[in-house]
Amino acid sequence: MNDTAKPTAEQQRTRTGLDKDALKRAYLDNLFYLRGRFLEVATTNDLYMAAAYTVRDRMLARWIKSAQTYKDTNARTVCYLSAEFLLGPHLLNNLVNLGITDTARAAGEELELDFEAIVEAEEEPGLGNGGLGRLAACYMDSLATLQIPAIGYGIRYEFGIFDQVIVDGWQSERGDTWLKSGNPWEIPRPKLSFPVGFGGHTEQYTDEHGALRMRWLPSMVVNGMAYDTPIMGYGVGNVNLLRLWKSEAPESFDFQAFNVGDYYGAVHAKMEAETISKVLYPNDEPEAGKALRLKQQYFFVSCSLQDMIRLELNNAGTLAHFHEKFAVQLNDTHPSLAVAELMRLLMDEYLMDWTRAWEITRNACHFTNHTLLPEALETWSVHLFERLLPRHLQIIYEINRRFLDEVRVHFFADEARVARMSIIDESFGRRIRMAHLAAVGSKAVNGVAALHTDLLKSTVMHDFYEMWPEKFHNVTNGVTPRRFIAVSNPRLARLITEACGDDRWLRDLACLKQLEEQAEDHGLQAQWRQVKTAAKQDLANWLGERTGFTPDPQTLFDVQAKRIHEYKRQHLSLLHIVWLYEQIKQNPNVELTPRTFIFGGKAAPGYFMAKLIIKLVNAVGEVINNDPQVSGMLRVVFMPDFNVKNGQRLYPAADLSEQISMAGKEASGTGNMKFSMNGALTIGTLDGANVEIRDEVGHDNFFLFGLTAPEVHQRQAEGYRPWEVYHGNEQLKSAVDLIASGLFSHGDTELFRPLTDNLIHSDPFLVLADFQAYVDCQRQVDRAYRAPHHWDRMSILNTARMGKFSSDRSIQDYAERIWGVAPVPIEA
């Protein structure tokens, strides 16, 4: 290496070349120098770590070049603030994005390594609960691929989402230990850390210009330390940054306390600081009131904004153009404290006046809403704020005071509306409505699918929409075809590339349209079916090893995989299964398409009904799978521990994708897109993005059933009486009764009572109301599957018409309509 300590081009080529020999050499080097091992004695983890370092090394030069170019060109940068990033395994994804999967495989073969076992050894970072966190990860992939300068900011949870194991049919949670064997993808930055205060009080003072100012004297300060992960774009030189914050005590020991003999107290303070980033809250829709969760939110928001301010001051020397430099996207309300924190930093730390600070804040922030569920709309008690964030409370009061004056003028003396729109909810104790704070403090507000945005505008944010119609946008969600086709379903990726003539579709998913012309081609259909059957066989083998039950790949694989929640209605599918079981028992010759029902998903640990639904799936499976009379016709299996990695096994193998939420409840859904891209047909309600998926793939290629959102609303407004539905439908009644009878619970008639009683007497998600329509629709599915050419054609058309649901399209929408950012290309 020369004096400037920068590797020459030649050194870099031999050190980080992409050819097979360079990969082999680097791999053995890394194994030796970073793991202290040679091939004969290396553990699987050593082999994986060496592979990860070898791949990471190949991203570093591009990463540095990206950062340097973004800085030199002073590029406008997206800052995606999210409490969750559900990344999934890195290794194979990075190989695909670097375009060296085949080379790496060949290098591995020459070294006599088991490539699949090495890929399999990676423990995924489960830093998210479900859709919202995975969406953030897809968006990071697309931002890099579209060459848009971006930083993802979040929390480096030591424990991510729990691992799910099934014990006696019940979900049991195990702590996630993703960091146990080390994380080769991150680079710790011990010197890059920021102080974050909590508690204490505020005081007024007069600055040197005679102006009255506020300062906050927190009673506790923690540090947030940066851990950086490179996010590689596909087929480009751009590598963006994911920066996650870990909380630490400012000093590992409080020496003063130590000196007076309070050793325990000193260590305790350190532990308390570290608690903040210790664990992800395992609810996919937030639960109210947990002080630690508010601390987590403030912690990562403050670190992230301080970091942006540092970057801008380094570059521009002033914060006057902060909002021109950064487009800050708030992923749901979890980071909405950014509005108050940016105001505080600009005014209290950088001595800006209110008007200027507000102008910057309102133009920097943008807000995405991801749910209309009332229980998920975050509020925090004023009391908690007083205790933890007294300065922010003052700022929020002032934002609200000014905002409500605007409301009064705009809606001329409509005090009822003022109360509805206020950031402070005065109705049940005083609470801060985080969605209102985010909406007031943002330049744009968006929903995540057309229907969801319409409902947002007509219900929970209606007043805001009336006041600022131009602020509201729809950006329909999307998913990355790199991870969800190329990485998860390489056979399908190869077939598509062959059929399309090239692999441009991976960068421009609309190219899949070319497949349409060949949808009737029996040659392609046969290959298509082979690919699907092979994926089903892989999944069957995996399930066999994990659950002891190996499904038959010749049966229709009917899959519902997502968080377990009553609004998603896994129990609607269960009622159908029980009904089918009865049909076969009563008439063994009944004409049915043999099916395997596969469920997957985690329940929030404190959500009793969701856990009971998991138990019911397993209980029904146990009885049905052991009944020789229905073998070959009906099977039910629960895939344990649904996460990104296991999802990648499911999407390619599904024939039918269940998207059966009560209309109006699922904001978008993204699993629906992953299944459909992989050629599964959807049975679904007109909810979330299903509406748009159906419009894209064609109404004939989608199995639609159930009440629409307005019909749901009407049914509920009229006074929905589920017991009337139950008594009015013989088949439905007998399915519910069979569950209650104890048949699936070894005679215990109490076990599933909470579920059956809830359905009969309350049924908040209209399961019973949609039952008959669902069963009828499933009959159509049955018939369609028995006509293989027809089915294959529909399957091909589903994939062919999924262009709209690439996250590249979503990011393009955000870039053009919301952020106003342009690509900064870095050559590969």
Give catalytic residue positions.
370, 562-563, 568, 670, 674
Interface region with ligand CJB, contact rule CB under 6 A, candidates 354-362, 370-378, 382-390, 799-807? 370-378
Give burial (CB, 10 Å; 0-12/13-18/19+) of 315.
middle
Tell me if 137 contacts ligand CJB by CB under 6 A. Answer: no
Sequence letter at residue 29: D
Q: Which of residues 59-78 bind ligand CJB (CB under 6 A)?
A: none
Return the residue of 89, 108, 126, 130 that touches ligand CJB, per CB under 6 A. 130
CB of 351 to ligand CJB, least distance (A): 37
Measure CA of the first residue to CA of the last residue in the chain; give whole Å: 23
Which sign, positive or negative, has the C-alpha torsion 311, 315, 320, 322? negative
Helix, strand, or coil (residue 194): strand
Interface region with ligand CJB, contact rule CB under 6 A, candidates 8-16, 110-118, 281-289, 408-416? 281-289
Start-end of H helices in 34-43: none
CB of 249 to ligand CJB, least distance (A): 30
Structure tokens at 522: 């029996």
Q: Which of residues 320-339 bind ligand CJB (CB under 6 A)?
A: 332
In the block, which residue shows the tokens 């009563």? 586
Tell me if 670 contacts ligand CJB by CB under 6 A. Answer: yes
Contact 675, 648 (CB under 8 A): no
CB of 616 to ligand CJB, least distance (A): 22
Closer of 139 and 465 to ligand CJB (Cβ): 139
In the block, which residue shows the tokens 């791949």? 55
x/- mask, ligand CJB, residues 207-246, rule CB under 6 A, reads ----------------------------------------
Return the residue of 89, 131, 233, 601 that touches ligand CJB, per CB under 6 A. 131
CB of 594 to ligand CJB, least distance (A): 32
Return the residue of 152, 669, 679, 706 that touches ligand CJB, per CB under 6 A. 669
Interface region with ligand CJB, contact rule CB under 6 A, candidates 70-78, 160-168, 280-288, 736-744? 280-288
Closer of 133 and 233 to ligand CJB (Cβ): 133
Start-end of H helices in 749-828: 753-761, 767-785, 788-800, 807-813
Count of H-run helices and E-run strands, the chain:
34, 24
Q: In this chain, which residue has its C-beta nearest to ligand CJB?
A: 131
Q: Which of residues 473-532 bind ligand CJB (CB under 6 A)?
A: 477
Contact 280, 161 (CB under 8 A): yes
Interface region with ligand CJB, contact rule CB under 6 A, candidates 129-137, 192-200, 241-249, 400-408? 129-137
Strands (E), 199-347: 201-206, 212-217, 220-232, 239-248, 326-331
The b-or-e profile of 177-207 (16+ CB within 10 A means b, else e) is ebeebebbbbeeeeebbbebbbebeeeeeee
Half-sphere exposure of 405 (CA within 13 A, CB side): 5
Return the residue of 226, 376, 707, 709 that touches ligand CJB, per CB under 6 A. 376
Q: Which of residues 671-700 bind ligand CJB (CB under 6 A)?
A: 688
Closer of 129 and 527 to ligand CJB (Cβ): 129
Return the residue of 438, 448, 767, 796 that touches ligand CJB, per CB under 6 A. 448
Tell me if 297 contacts ligand CJB by CB under 6 A. Answer: no
Interface region with ligand CJB, contact rule CB under 6 A, candidates 279-287, 430-438, 598-606, 630-638? 279-287
- Within 8 A by CB and 6+ apart from 447, the residues are 368, 369, 453, 454, 455, 456, 457, 472, 473, 474, 475, 667
Return the residue of 556, 667, 766, 784 that touches ligand CJB, per CB under 6 A. 667
CB of 203 to ligand CJB, least distance (A): 37
Interface region with ligand CJB, contact rule CB under 6 A, candidates 123-131, 224-232, 503-511, 572-580? 123-131
Tell me if 136 contacts ligand CJB by CB under 6 A. Answer: no
In angstroms, rounded to a whole number, what is the distance separating the alpha carbons of residues 765 and 663? Answer: 9
Which sign, positive or negative, has the C-alpha torsion 196, 199, 201, 202? positive
Closer of 479 and 614 to ligand CJB (Cβ): 479
User: Three-state secondary structure along 259-294?
Assistant: HCCCHHHHHHHHHHHHHCCCECCCCCCCCCCCHHHH
Return the residue of 55, 81, 121, 135 that touches ligand CJB, per CB under 6 A. 135
x/- mask, ligand CJB, residues 239-278, rule CB under 6 A, reads ----------------------------------------
In angstroms, rounded to a whole number, what is the distance separating the alpha carbons of residues 592 and 34? Answer: 58
Structure tokens at 352: 């800006």
Closer of 511 and 667 to ligand CJB (Cβ): 667
Return the residue of 336, 371, 400, 442 that touches ligand CJB, per CB under 6 A. 371
Beta-bridge partners for 638: 599
Closest Cα to residue 170, out of 610, 566, 562?
610
Tell me if 132 contacts ligand CJB by CB under 6 A. Answer: yes
Binding-site residue total for ligand CJB (CB under 6 A)? 20
Interface region with ligand CJB, contact rule CB under 6 A, candidates 96-104, 422-430, 500-508, 662-670? 662-670
In angstroms, rounded to a whole number, what is the distance separating the alpha carbons of residues 264 and 257? Answer: 9
Structure tokens at 603: 């329940």
Closer of 343 and 449 to ligand CJB (Cβ): 449
Site residues, ligand CJB (CB under 6 A): 129-132, 135, 284-286, 332, 370-371, 376, 448, 477, 666-670, 688
